[in-house]
Amino acid sequence: MDVALADRRLAAVRAWWRVRHPPPSLARRLDIAYTTTLVAAILGAVAYGTAGSALADVLSPERLERFGPPAALVALVLMARWGAFQGPVVFTVPDVGFLLSAPLPRRRLSERRLLLGFACGAGAGALLAAVILVGLGDVAAGDATMLVAAGAQLGALGVAAAWAVERSARWERAAWLGMWPTVGAAAGIAAWAPGIPAVPALVMLFLVTSAALAAALRDCAHCSAERHLRRAEARQGAIASLGVYDLRTARRSLEAARPGHAAASGRRLRRLPVPAVAWRDAVSALRAPGRLVEAMALSAASAAVAIAEVDRPLVVAAAMFAGYLAAARMLWPLRAELDVPDRARILLHPRSGRVLLEHSIIAAVVTAIGAAVGAAVAVILGHSSAVVAVIAITVAPLLTLCAAMSARRGGRVPQTLLVTAIAADPTGGGTAVAGWFAWWPSIAVVIGVVPLVVAHAGGLALTAIWILAAAAVLTWLAGRDTEAESSL
């Protein structure tokens, strides 16, 4: 195709689009700018105060120098994996059907979206660096400039990596297989590597980012319409689900963009008695070892950090949230059954309460083993006593029960809550919906933080009472039948 002719055709299409869909007026743009500035100022002031008080106890120049590069390496891989589900260049379903099949230059269609993705990634990286600067406090102007520049370049580099994964199945497999080797390399860098000089590292990052951006722009036309269509359909389904606050279906819609990934959560459900549910969970975990490794690694890190920083409740709370995520990672067979309730009722004789408890067994065992490994490492390194380590291991099954109770809700906000929240909540329902999503994670954090902090202070008797009471209440709640079954 003649490039000049294709560019003229694309210009004609865009001119027609501007006529059919005129841009907003100047007054409308000024109104949007005013509202955005006002909201950003309010939220920025709140975020500034929160970051200044909360991050000051966690961040320090020494910790940033030691853990900053490993964290950046892991963040890059996570951004690359984002390309497996969406990525920076996402068309709508009609765009894929009409624009990508028309005699228009694919490069010009993708170029603007990719450049916008680079700008957004760089802005997000710079904003995160600014938040880190607030937590660090008094930092020299030169160091602050280098940190913001590094954050912006890392954000743009992450977008380039996501585009590579989005357009290529080979890069997608590499990003998926390289996740945990990257985490291991990052842990090794944090533990043994010396500090990296700032200026040479920034120069090297600039060269790598420039090369990655140039390669991404060069290959912006090399993505098949099939891959674009899968992401367009996934985005369409996810937006529709989020419109009714259905996070579970939104997650499944996004997973559909990666062939073979979503199917792993629903392997060969057979008619089984309850004792076999745990056995099926174990077999499913072995068939998806990535989830198993991720859950154990998160549990180990959660226990190790909680024990090592037991005198800092905020850090312990973050560690308990990581333990909750580990348990949630292992409960994907339970969510697969809850997504299709009729299937579970037909194929599983017992009521949902017993089934939920049976599904929690393997998840609790895996997270407890991971917590035991992390606790053992922390004790060997002399960070805490064996008593606190045992408590950290005991907390893991409680976090699993909290994650199971959260999964039982189906990830869908009840319509009754939405109606009540919109009518009574001054924020228009935002606070109530956020509280609904954060309910069980918050309970898990409280259940995990209290015994560790109290045991560290010497209250072992109160710690034992807390753990036993929490275990009894959570087991009773998880073992109850649903309202539909109770009415039968």
pLDDT score recorded for residue 268: 42
Q: Is the distance from CB of 104 to CB of 219 less than 8 angstroms?
A: no
Going by C-alpha positions, the residue among 111, 106, 79 that lies closest to residue 95 is: 106
Phi, psi (degrees; rounded to nearest 5) at 131: -65, -40
Residues with pLDDT less than 70, the chain: 1-3, 50-52, 54, 193-196, 259-276, 339-352, 418-419, 421-430, 481-488
d(CA 86, CA 93): 13
Q: How many CA atoms lie within 13 A of 294 on its CB side?
A: 19
Amino acid at 279: W
pLDDT score recorded for residue 237: 86
d(CA 84, CA 96): 18
Residue 27, number of CB atoms within 10 A of its CB: 8
pLDDT score recorded for residue 487: 39
Residue 20 burial (10 A CB sphere; 0-12, 13-18, 19+): exposed
pLDDT score recorded for residue 106: 83
Residues 6+ positions from 257 with CB-CB distance below 8 Å: 84, 85, 86, 230, 231, 233, 234
Secondary structure (3-state) at 467? helix
Taking the model in full, what pTM does it have?
0.67
d(CA 137, CA 52): 8
> What residues does each domain of the chain span?
1-58, 59-259, 272-486
d(CA 305, CA 322): 10
Terminal Cα-to-Cα distance of the chain (whole angstroms) = 67
Secondary structure (3-state) at 271? coil
Going by C-alpha positions, the residue among 461, 475, 474 that lies closest to residue 387 is: 461
How far, CA to CA in Å, does 474 sit from each of 141, 201, 293, 329, 485?
A: 51, 49, 26, 19, 20
The residue count for the chain: 488
Amino acid at 93: V
Residues 6+ positions from 102 with CB-CB distance below 8 Å: 9, 13
412, β-bridge pairs: 246
How far, CA to CA in Å, does 332 sit from each of 206, 252, 267, 440?
A: 40, 11, 11, 17
Amino acid at 327: A
Rounding to the nearest 10 degrees, give the CA dihedral for residues 128, 131, 137, 140: 40
Q: What does the buried/exposed string (b/e) look like for 89-116 if buried means 16 or more CB atoms within 10 Å of the residue's CB?
A: bbbeeeebeebbeeebbbbbbbeebbbe
pLDDT score recorded for residue 449: 92
